[in-house]
Structure 1
Amino acid sequence: MLSTRTHKLGFPFSANLRSELDDAFSQMFGKSLAGCEGAYSPLSVWEEESKYHVALDVPGMKKEELSLDIQDGHLILTGERNTVENREYLHNERRFGKFKRVIQLPDWVDPTSVNATIDAGVLTIVLDKKPDLQPKSIEIKDSSQSE
């Protein structure tokens, strides 16, 4: 079953109470409130002056097993973590299956500036803010010294 999570970039994740409750329920009982099973990739988001960064844990996955798209103002990561066939687990906390992470991008993100790298099981995505919306310093001139 496809596990999908959606977040808004640039807004506090605490505003997404349903997702937080789902995460807590999943940690306590091993499945989500919706009963969805499948892989899950935790993410972190942080902002710098001119960029947004998104990091997702995708342990053991290769870039060929992931797909990253921008569509209708959303950053969409899909992938599938396959299980080993014919294996009987004594204990298993790992999740397998298809997953989809959707991040709603604010208007000030430049969708043409996306850069994605994968290293040591972490997919890092960097998005530039639109140049015309980035902070800039304005020189204040002294009118008494004008010529």
Structure 2
Amino acid sequence: MQTIYWIFVFLGTFSIMEFMAWFTHKYVMHGFLWSLHKDHHHKDHDSWFERNDAFFIFYAVVSMTCFYLWSYEGVWYCLPIGLGIMAYGAAYFIVHDIFIHQRFKIFRNANNWYAKGVRRAHKIHHKHLGKGDGECFGMLFVPFKYFKRS
């Protein structure tokens, strides 16, 4: 298959995953599966792991299913879709878990305009400890107002 199609599908999938993350966060995590997500807003245990960590499993299974379909069924576009989902998951983990929440103590000094905006938007999201009245449900693309200098 031509490389341009592969790249287009990969980048399209990565971009769509930001919408999927926003939608899942707003309507699933802050909706009917709040019981899994609430410990992310208000830690109620001593474990390094959170119940919220279970959400990555769904998209990991979708990505692995795509790899299977590409490898064993020959569906060419499943490889760039699976890689796009996996790449978004890695970006999300790096930005959310490592950079913002400092689950690993690296990227502490990132101080450029993008880092500040994403961190500010996520801080606004976490000021709401409950299920409702939230804002800023996206991760990599947040509203421009959070990038303005204060």
Fold shared, TM-score > 0.5 on shorter chain: no
Q: Say which one has the larger Rg.
A: 1
Q: As a proportion of its length, which structure holds more strand?
A: 1
TM-score by length of 1: 0.27
Q: As a proportion of its length, which structure holds more helix?
A: 2
